């Protein structure tokens, strides 16, 4: 995973490959990096996601709990229709705003 700082207040976390329980150390490390840079809006890029399972969903909940504690906004883009539906089923889409692309996710942050 790769963290890109965008402006003063946003960071994009590029997720590649799998999101499972085993990904937790890597994703949390990405969170720490974005948090240390002062990001108030964290944007998850799922464009190169290959596989996500229930363990990965649980890990996203943990990620969300951390972001909520720090009053950070979470957004996402690049989800396939299948994983977008899973976000809806689990109601993660109510807590993580989903956009079609990075530009939309970041422009909404700036507005």
Partner 1 sequence: MTSIARSAPRRLASFALPSVPGNERIALAQVAETVAGLGLSPARLDKLKTAVAEATMNAIEHGNDSRPELAVTVEVFQLGAEIIVTITDRGGRSDDGAPENSAEIPDLDRKLGGEQDPGGWGLFLIRHMVDAMDITTQDERHTVRLMMRIGSQDTCAGGGLSG
**Cα-based torsion angle of the residue sequence 72, 55, 93, 111 in order, rounded to the nearest 10 degrees:** 30
Instruction: Give the one residue of 26, 58, 97, 104 binding partner 1; rule: CB under 8 A.
Output: 58
d(Cα 58, Cα 75) in Å, to the nearest integer? Answer: 17
Establish if 54 lies at the interface with partner 1 (CB under 8 A).
yes
Which lies closer to partner 1 via its Cβ, residue 46 or residue 106? Answer: 46
Instruction: Give the one residue of 65, 70, 100, 107 binding partner 1; rule: CB under 8 A.
Output: 65
Establish if 17 lies at the interface with partner 1 (CB under 8 A).
no
Q: Is 10 exposed, middle or buried (0-12, 13-18, 19+ CB in 10 A)?
A: buried
Site for partner 1 in 74-103 (CB under 8 A): 80-82, 86, 89-92, 94-95
């Amino acid at each position: 995973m790769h963290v890109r700082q965008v402006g003063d207040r946003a960071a994009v976390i590029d997720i590649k490959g799998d999101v499972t329980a085993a990904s937790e150390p890597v994703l949390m490390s990405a969170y720490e990096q974005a948090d240390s840079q002062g990001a108030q809006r964290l944007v998850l890029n799922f464009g190169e996601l290959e596989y996500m399972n229930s363990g990965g969903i649980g890990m996203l909940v943990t990620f969300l709990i951390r972001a909520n504690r720090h009053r950070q906004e979470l957004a996402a883009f690049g989800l396939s229709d299948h994983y977008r539906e899973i976000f809806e089923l689990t109601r993660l889409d109510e807590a993580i705003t989903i956009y079609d692309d990075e530009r939309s996710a970041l422009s909404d942050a700036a507005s």
